[in-house]
Amino acid sequence: MIDFIKILNPETELERNILKDPIFIKGAMYGKERPGHPEGMVVSHIRDIFKNIDDDTLTSNTRSKLRLIALFHDTCKFQVNYDLPRVGENHHGYKARKFAEKYIKDEDILQIIQHHDDAYNIWKRSSKRNEWDKGEKDLLRLIDKINDIDLYSMFYFCDNSTGNKNNDDYKWFLQISGL
C-alpha cells in the first residue's frame, strides 16, 4: 500500500481525512506515464504540484486553497468512461468536484476543481483547428464564469509546471486574460 501521508505530508486535519478516503486512494493510485504526465500516478502529480505551491510566496489561506484543489483535481480520472466523450458529467473535473463537495463548501475552490482543465482544453482545440478567434471568445466566457480568476491562474500555473508540459497554453491564457 502506498503511504500517502509520507508522500504528500498533509498539513491539516482536512487533508489527512481526504487522504484516507477510499475514492482518493483509488484515484491517487490511478495513472501511468503519458505525454504531459511522465510521473505516472496521480499521487506523484499531486506531489509535484505541492512542490510548485511551496515555491510561491503565498498567504496561508491561498496556499491552503491551492493544496485542496491539487488534492482533488485529477483524483476522479479513474471514474471517467473513456468510451464516451469526456464532457459534462463524464469529465474528471466534474467528478472531482462532486467528490470534493463531501469535504468543501467553498464555491471558488469547487469551481476551479471542476474547470481546472478548461483553459488548456480551449487552447488545445484552438491550436488544433487554428480557430484562435473562437478560442479567445470561449476563454473569455470561461474567465467570466470563474469567481476567483487569480486563484484559477495560480493553480493553472502550478499544474502546468509539472512533468514535461509545454507552457504555450498558459502564456496564451495570461495574454487573453490580461493577468
CB atoms within 10 A of CB 9: 10
CB contact at 8 A, 114 and 96:
yes
107: amino acid identity, one letter: E
Query: pTM for this one?
Result: 0.94
Instruction: For residues 111 and 94, give the distance between their C-alpha atoms in angstroms, rounded to a whole number.
Output: 9
pLDDT recorded at residue 139: 97
- Which of 154, 165, 160, 170 lies closest to 53 in space, CA to CA? 154
Locate the domains of the chain by residue range. 4-177
Which run of H or E residues covers position 86? none
Q: What letter would DSSP give residue 79? A: G
> Cα dist. 112→57, 83, 148 in Å?
20, 25, 8
pLDDT recorded at residue 1: 67
pLDDT (tens, 9 = 90+) of the chain, 179 residues, equals 688 889 999 999 999 999 999 999 999 999 887 776 677 799 999 999 999 998 666 788 999 999 999 999 999 999 999 999 898 999 999 999 999 999 999 999 999 999 999 999 999 999 999 999 999 999 999 999 999 999 999 999 999 988 777 899 999 999 999 98
Instruction: For residues 132 and 16, give the distance between their C-alpha atoms in angstroms, rounded to a whole number.
Output: 43
Strands (E) in 24-166, as ranges, are: none
